[in-house]
Amino acid sequence: MAYVIGEPCVDVMDRGCVQECPVDCIYEGARALYIHPDECVDCGACVPVCPVEAIYYEDDLPAELEAYREDNAAFFFQPLPAHEDRIGSPGGATKLGPLGVDAPLVAGLPKRSIRS
């Protein structure tokens, strides 16, 4: 089980959640951040700091964000366009830095301007 980052993060990427995560399991893509489903320890510390309420426990995802559970996992466990291999389970996001790619659902969303 894990927490999931949904559509409100896309093109916003506040990154406040990254500072809160005790296990460094929030990875940066090109347009959104992704929580590693195996590395997350379900502490919930990331939830209240997100200014756009993008983060939910996977069983509590609103219906319109349900697809992001699978998309978060796809970021790590599917081959991604323009990325040589699956990201897998690196055991920490900081050492990798921004990965410059996105999971399929996020990659297919139309661009939007940053919200104020």
Residues that bind ligand F3S (CB under 6 A): 3, 5, 9, 12-17, 20-21, 23, 25-26, 33, 35, 40-46, 49-50, 52, 54-55
DSSP-assigned letters across all residues of 8-44: GGTTT---HHHHH-TT--EEE-SSSEEE-TTT-----
Which residue lies nearer to ligand F3S by CB, 42 or 79?
A: 42
Sign of the C-alpha dihedral, residues 54, 58, 60, 66?
positive
Which residue lies nearer to ligand F3S by CB, 27 or 80?
A: 27
Which residue lies nearer to ligand F3S by CB, 44 or 79?
A: 44
Environment class of residue 6 by beta-carbon count within 10 Å: exposed (0-12), middle (13-18) or buried (19+)?
A: buried
User: CB of residue 111 vs ligand F3S: minimum separation in angstroms?
Assistant: 16
User: CB of residue 39 vs ligand F3S: minimum separation in angstroms?
Assistant: 7
